[in-house]
Structure 1
Amino acid sequence: MKATGGELGWLTWPLDQGDKTLNGSQLYTYSVCNVGEREQDNWLRTTFIQRRPSASRVFVELKFIVRDCNSFDGTSLTCKETFNLFTSESDADVGTTFRKGQFKKVDTIAPDEITSKNEMHINTETRVVENLSRKGFYLAFQDIGACIALLSVRVYYKTCSATVQSLASFPETVAGSENQALREVSGQCVENADSEELPRIYCTVDGEWVVPVGQCQCKPGYEEVNDSCQECQAGFFKSAASADKCEPCPANTQRLESRALFCPCMEGFYRAPADPLSGPCSGLPSAPKDLVATTSAGKLLLSWSPPEDNGGRTDITYSIECQCCDGSVCQSCSEKIRYDPANVGLTDTKVSVSDLDAHINYTFTVEAHSGVSLFINQITTMRLVERTSSSLSLSWDVSPRPRVQSSPIRYELTYRKKVRHTLLEKNFVQISDLVPGTAYLFRVQALSSDSSPGGSSMEEQFETLNEGTEQKPQGKNCMCFDINFQMGFCIFLSRKRNSHTRQGPEDTYFSSSEQLKPLKTYVDPHTYEDPNTAIMKFATEIHPSHVTKEKVIGAGEFGEVYRGILKVPGRKEAAVAIKTLKPGYMEKQRQDFLSEASIMGQFTHQNIIRLEGVVTKFKHAMIVTEYMENGALDRYLRDHDGEFPSFQLVGMMRGISAGMKYLSDMSYVHRDLAARNILVNNNLECKVSDFGLSRVLEDEPEGTYTTSGGKIPIRWTAPEAIAYRKFTSASDVWSFGIVMWEVMAFGERPYWDMSNHEVMKAINEAFRLPAPMDCPSAVYQLMLQCWLQDRAKRPRFGDIVNLLDKLLRSPDSLKTIADFDPRVSIRLPSTSGSDGSPFRSVSEWLESIKMSQYSENFSCAGVVTMDQVLQMKNEDIKNIGVRLPGHLKRIAYSILGLKDQTSTLSVFAV
């Protein structure tokens, strides 16, 4: 109205009643002041207001002045100080047609301040018009005898603005109504970014984005820059989809063009099998110097000096080769010759040789080796030559070998359906009897003549065609060459499927067709003879100078946990959690400590704690992970008891279940899933953590049950895992049911103060935890499904994710609450304290129900005895300052239990 200088076109009724005023300040107003006349019924109607289809809820902001009735003489019976707001929906503009019966009242509008003769007060009131469904609507204002001036009317709806969050773009979205508190919106990853699940976010009624789900990450060769994915610059690389920045090509590598996935070694430089692709390349060591032979006590002593150039490596070793020469004919020395300490793998620069024959001319050669000396040809390129629905034909190229030997190349093929090994004599293979429409992962690794591993290719993915579809050959670009030295190559082909060495094929829980879905499989680091190999393979080494400890935030079995800062050159500074290994550790403790990093480093998912890297090559070992600001879920929920609605709690469960589905699909069994092992960040995202397999599972001795195989967290563990140590994804599902109960109970301890033996006895007698207070029936039914005795009948994590998604998409499904017995479900005490005597004070009673934060509220309200507590009603509890619904119910239910002298019902009598 302020912006309009002319006629608004609004309709008055009765016609020509009321004043339209355009004063000197260019403020358009409508006013009426028939306070002395009886039976006033004056209407003002807007023009037709068209509605955006998705805007079912609009706000009407009114600015107006109401005159004080006392400022008029003799009008106290007819003068009013309020007016009414009405609305009417329509699919078309009805022009000047006006029927009062078509309008529905929104509210009566009353001023906060009224205007007197001497002082003017402008009032602002906002009302909400809900459930609009037609193409447009009218607003109308009814006066029944007030002196009022309508100065401004603003009609608007709220939207969540178009945004990019976590590399996912979300469109502008109209906020929902009160009965749709959160409106789910699907987004799209920005260009050159991918996500394992569809990115989603929720728009609140206030026009704010909350609870993002499904984080996008820049593809290999791209990094995040200002909410977009930009290609790595020339001389930089990034090998995997992640939130990491591109890294500069390390020493002795080729600076490729932009979008590099890795930096290959320069000619004459190599990586050892255990060297990461992100690390530098090394040269071969030069020859040892100054070889000297001396005799002493019938023995020959050989000594030499280290090579001038070690190729940039520290793992230098030496080997001795002996030949006997008679004229021009030379042959290898007799096996009876003894070397002290040995003739290969020497780290010292001297060796003693004995049992030599007299009058024989011996020639000794000393060679220097490093991790790349046994390097066999690097596999540089793999390509798909031809494919059908049941076979794949592949070829690969190799880079030149540093030294020439005399035998033809051999290749070993390994791939997984049933593990197969086939020695090949060519750099080309056709693999038959594959599953149609299935993706396979290939990696070619070179083997030396003694089968020690050499350089390997990047992992490549190829997919068989769907059945009934054939593809013509793409041209056999096989590389033909003559090589006269001995070597072997192996192809590691792993089908993306759900298999696990911990479960046998007899396990019915894993025998469905779902396990045939292609997926990367978890590798148990304990299968490596040298645990350090697993660390190098799955974790990034961090220099300790890049890690800064700031504050101790906890303590684990192995040492303290710090909050700190990780600042790696070329990457943005990030807050991290730092797990340390306490001084005086044994080597076994160090291996157990680092095994968690070997496990964690294999996982990449939004709901799994992210490993940043490890520090292993220095005195104090460390594991560095992302920092989760809100800490453990159980403690966080206890600190915010009653503050979150069911919808938000279900959202937390959904995140946990998505993380567990990812682990299950990788064939990883967690074994210790509990709310204490779930971490929460500032966005209330929940992430599964704690992957150590050798650890104390709880601080208190009662927390675990020791068997011949180790310790078990009884309250969270499935009965078959307790009885037979049968840990599967099905036992993790049981544990997830307990986590759901912890979440809905805001961190309450499962089975309360029952002992472990009581818990086991109760479960075996078919007792299950009762529904927490205000728990939706659908959520509690899912808990009970997770706790089925027959593990084959429990839902899988994929089923759980789908069900929770369905509940989140239909918030009304959470309104039906499960049956609740306060005396059992929250273990409320009766009229007695822990020692069986009546509560001696209000504070003692409040402490027993974990509501001691309200002691001062009760005291200030004069409620100081338990008799006074028993007289309290719900309204009394609200009046003393208990506002949170969960806290209000807990206190009210406790009072109900105190009044019931039979409330000492045992949990086993449910």
Structure 2
Amino acid sequence: MDHSWISPVFWIWFWIWIWTGFSSAEEEVLMNTKLETSDLRWTIYPSSDPEWEEMSGLDEEGNSVRTFQICPMDTSVSHWLRTRFIPLRGATQVYVEIRFTVMECSAMPSSFRSCKETFNLLYYQSDEDTASSTHPAWMENPYSKVDTVAADFLLRRGGEKKSNVKTVRVGPLSKKGFYLAFQAQGACMALLSVRVFFKKCPSVTRSFSSFPETLPHSLVQQAEGVCVPNSAPTDQAPPTMFCGEDGQWVGPPSSSCVCKPGFEPLDSDRCRACGSGQYKVSIGGSLCRVCPDNSNTHSPGSSVCVCRPGFHRAASDLPDSPCTRPPSAPRSIISQINDTVVTLEWSEPLDRGGRSDLSYSVECVRCRGSSCVPCTDSVTYRPGQVGVVGRRVIIRGLLPHTTYTFSVIAQNGVSAVSHTSPASSSVNITTSRDVAVPVSGIRRTKASESSVSISWTIPSQTQHSILDYQLRYSLMDQDDGWQYVSSKSSSVVLSDLSRASQYQVQVRARTSAGYGHFSPAASISTLPDDEEPPSRLLLTGVLVAIGLLILIAVGIVAVFCFRRSSRRRDPDPDKSSQFLMGQGMKVYIDPFTYEDPNELVREFAKEIDVSFVKIEEVIGAGEFGEVCRGRLRVPGKKENYVAIKTLKAGYTDKQRRDFLSEASIMGQFQHPNIIHLEGVITASCPVMILTEYMENGALDSFLRLNDGQFTPIQLVGMLRGIASGMKYLSEMSYVHRDLAARNILVNSNLVCKVSDFGLSRFLTENSSDPTYTSSLGGKIPIRWTAPEAIAFRKFTSASDVWSYGIVMWEVMSFGERPYWDMSNQDVINAIEQDYRLPPPPECPASLHQLMLDCWQKERSSRPRFCAIVSALDRLIRNPASLKITGRISDGTSHPLLDQRPPPSLSHCSSVSDWLRIIKMERYEDNFLQAGFTSIQLVSHISTEDLLRIGVTLAGHQKKILSSVQMLRVLPY
């Protein structure tokens, strides 16, 4: 065959060679013709008159390479070229990189009547190398077609000489190997090189988990790893991670490993043993610490420090507590003897042993002569004999004229584990004989609200005269709050007492031999008590009651007057309440006003520990990385599913800021129809955004999947939820800019929530009609965007209303594409010529009219979201109106959105007009059938007439009768 006419052009581009590839750590090459220097021995069909021609040449580096070219004269015949058998080595999907050139058909001679600029790529699977010149048959079946390959750059005479590189995916493959086939029918082309490879995830260590080299067999392949040395998993299951089909590891491990006790993390992939004098007591990511006081370690990798000799830890001490020792002995014991009662007091030890849990014990020994025995059980100690926290003990029940030895022992938490004897101090005491008889006859002689006068009987004393008395008193049942008073006489006045309170009082006498015992407690009370007349209290109570009644009456009158004046100023209570709510509405803060993205995240998003999150599967891909489904398990809270957006590796600071800005936007919203932000993960890699998981996904695809499965009232309920969410956003001065069904998510309960705040911007506040101007332009979703936003980049809540009308059309058409297959420019031209989308099949007429109201050309004429919500509520309450379908061609405004003020009653010309003005038109037939056919007759109607007509609701009766009273004073 003579191809001399193309040789000047063909051989020029043949030497143009650009070679790129993937990292060897992520790819395994199965075939690469660029590395072949001898004949490739590929099969050509038809073999009788082969058009494919194998040739040798040099690449851009001067290396010898083998290529195939074809430029058939007979373009009606399919020319095949098949590779040798390619073993798969366990791969289930491969990538084919083809470097080729194609001649432009216009540069070909006129004899090429069926010239083409494309060729087909096919493959055939087999477990063995059994192909021949006749098997398999040279047709698309049994071969499987991969793609029709087209060139991005075509060769032409005198033009730039560039080659094309196409990479296509082949799979899934289920046998041991396959053949590639190239089918050309009319294309003048050359195959410069063919490289077949598959991708695999390299061995990697992350979060102290080591994962082997993994070959993906599906979209994502789960790989099981092991913890690095000296680490352990945080739960029972081994760590797992997903290997993507692109050879990249997806997300963090499902359960991370952490360093064991005695080891600290190093470079996030190794655990290093704690050095000498350091320890780490628990498993986790904390660092080694210096040993506590009075302790040390004996070897590296210690989880606890051992106490030095003479120091100890109590059983209740934590392993990281410092070591301590028993305290020294108490100091300066002072004793006070009163008859057979001994009071001991002492000072703290000089050395508490380094602990705060200091307590004391008292030991008592009774001595007679040279023999000493422990005290009997009749001896009592107050507050106790052991475990005393204070430094004072009162000992009773001693024998008179007896010598005792009291030892006070200081103890702390390590005294029990110490092998040394506890330190103590001792004192010897000899009790005296009885000194005084008890006092009796305590009585109240005079009382007021804050003081009492008390007297008692002077006891008879034969041996010693009484020197004075000691009185102690406290509130009833408060034995720890005693106060003491001394008196030379048998009476005393107690002052600064609490009003109407009961006190307990005790008195004892003192002689030259010391104090006697306290008398039994007597009960004394201050005024007023039950014995005194409560006249003053009664009078005070009556006056207070009268005052409260006056205040209540004044309050009722004030509220009545305020409501009446409010109704006169603002007869529409709904508008008034909306205005008051607007005054306290939180306003959205633009995240791009923050210079520091970290401050932005701290302000509006909650940081979540990565260990609380477990990724289960990849469910999609976003602008910045994969979107996964996972579970969030925060300690103390119920586990729930979440959607996880990840930021892919190698991001720039701007990409990270843009990624986190969406989280800071969502974090400002709290509404049942706005997607809820669970939190962010910025302290580890990759950065993640966690939102609530919406089981049914995007609204448009959900509706297409369930075409015709929902009733009109269910669809209106979905639209009402979207409108409620947009009403909330507009009240926060927030413009969404990309409201579409694809950006509405649906949960398992069919609740629709607004999401995707990537194109949203803040409304300027210094204008009655706030707008956003996009200075950089950018992509705009033409089919959903208002005309003024397309032409002038003016975005307002009114432009969101236009987009909401398109969403209504999408919902009622079950996910149909707006404007069908029209181009974006055709859509813009049609809207400028006042074309609007027709009603979808079976769409209620009232809903289509609401769409048309949203598509008003003048943005000031479009309804607000609050009006749309009210309109949809009325439709839901009156489902019969949804049965009317078809176009509305009279051009009138939708009655649900007719917010014009009603005409004055003076303009009423008929009963129908009057009922419409007061919004009681439902009773029109009742009035006419009852004979009330004129305004004059209506002006004399009564309550009995209304009951006879059929107006039974009290609220409706009151509204009609109020209007009738106005009719009576109007001239007719």
Interval of TM-score (by shorter of Structure 1 and Structure 2):
0.3 to 0.5
TM superposition score normalised by structure 2: 0.44
TM superposition score normalised by structure 1: 0.47
Higher Rg = 2
